[in-house]
Structure 1
Amino acid sequence: MKSPSSSVRDILAANLKRERTRRGLSLSELSRLSRIGKATLSQVEAATGNPTIETVFSLSRALGVPISDLIDARHPEAVTVVRAAEAEVLSGEGVDLRALQRIDTGGVIVEVYDQQVRAESQQQSLGHAGTEHTIVQAGLLVAEVDGRRVELGPGDYIAFDASLPHRYAAPDGPVRSVLLLHYRSGQGEPRQNPHEARPPH
């Protein structure tokens, strides 16, 4: 698994502290909400930890904020070009995500990611804020949402309520896809997911 670069750690540390402070949450309270150990959260805020996709998604869910609020440095330009070799990689159990763009259109936020599911691996999520859209570019992607299994090939598209538990798998080789997450104002409020049966990694 690839480790996030120091810049990702620094950005996440600053954004996490800002969002936690804004909500008046202690590290202990955030630990309870996110199911992430207090010591781990302390390391993340100090930019000394090694945060994974699972960590970021759990924090997004607990704080009720879009994922990009935690990992985006926000430097808007008139023309935005993101070079593949320069994009920061955030890795999880079976997925490597590269954040390409955050689009805020006043009330609606769209996050654009390059998503690669590693061969013979899977990525599970207990759920997080927003609506998730995935467009497969190459490979066979198996998606399971709240118990429903779907196989997707190049050009296929799936969308679902991201608060539902979901899983991506690449049984036949690596999968390249575009992941879009979109949120409406107030959509990211923290809530209990009845499907949560185990703590995130």
Structure 2
Amino acid sequence: MGGRDEDVLAEVGPRLRALRRARGATLDALAAETGLTASTLSRLENGKLRPTLEQLLPLARAHGVPLDDLVAAPPTGDPRIHLRPVRRFGLTVVPLTRRPGGVQAYKVVYPPAGRAATMRLQTHDGYEWFYVLDGRVRLVLGEREFLLGAGEAADFDTRVPHWIGSADDRPAELLTLFGAQGERAHLPRMH
């Protein structure tokens, strides 16, 4: 392998680490999701192990990114973004950002209230902003509950116990911005 190939492979580890951290996943959780050992994942992230296609495929699937993103494949000249929905915990999640770290954007479709998983409040580091594209959303934030409709937005610190779901018998579609390190979406004021 030549110098350029070595450079490409050397950058895979930091990308893998940034993707895992942006998702808030531990090495053990990612190991369970991919079938790779936590030790192998650690060695890949630290550049002590050269990644193989057999390792990169389940990692790309778990992180919901194209394989090209893991190896920083050169652009093909096609400006279209090929969105690949991922199903997680009964939700359909479409990643809209292609770079690891920082604020991440997603389109999230919550199933109708009757088909959703049971409500379980969760907490994690980060800050979330969402805009309701379609449907009605129920947001439980600590001891308070909010109903939001199409065109409404909310933002909150994800260290506060929270749950989001459809408020009725229709799916709810949201545009979500999430900052794992607590970054907030700053929207300019329009006069």
For 1:45-194, list aligned pairs within 5 A.
Answer: 46=55, 47-48=57-58, 73=70, 81-82=80-81, 86-101=82-97, 109-120=102-113, 121-122=116-117, 124=120, 126-172=122-168, 173-183=170-180, 187=182
Structure possessing the higher radius of gyration over alpha carbons: 2
Q: CA RMSD in A?
A: 4.3
- Normalization by structure 1: what TM-score? 0.52
1:144–1:76 distance in 2 versus 1, CA, 3 Å:
farther
1:79–1:91 distance in 2 versus 1, CA, 3 Å:
same
Retained in 1: the 8 A contact 2:138–2:166? yes
* Identity across the alignment (%): 19
Q: Is 2:43 the counterpart of 1:19?
A: no
- Normalization by structure 2: what TM-score? 0.54
| SS in structure 1 of the partner of residue 179 of structure 2 | strand
| CA shift for structure 1 position 97 | 0.8
| CA shift for structure 1 position 171 | 3.6
String of CA shifts for 1:79-128, please: whole Å, max 9, x gaps.
9643xxx3122222232111112579xxx922111111111215756233
| CA shift for structure 1 position 181 | 1.1
Could you tell me which amino acid in structure 2 is paired with residue 114 of structure 1? Answer: K
Retained in 1: the 8 A contact 2:110–2:165? yes
1:19–1:140 distance in 2 versus 1, CA, 3 Å:
same
| CA shift for structure 1 position 151 | 0.5
| SS in structure 2 of the partner of residue 19 of structure 1 | helix
What runs of 5+ residues in structure 1 fail to find an aligned partner?
A: 1-13, 24-28, 57-66, 189-201
What runs of 5+ residues in structure 2 fail to find an aligned partner?
A: 1-11, 42-54, 184-191
Q: State the distance in 1 between where 2:146 and 2:60 align.
A: 32
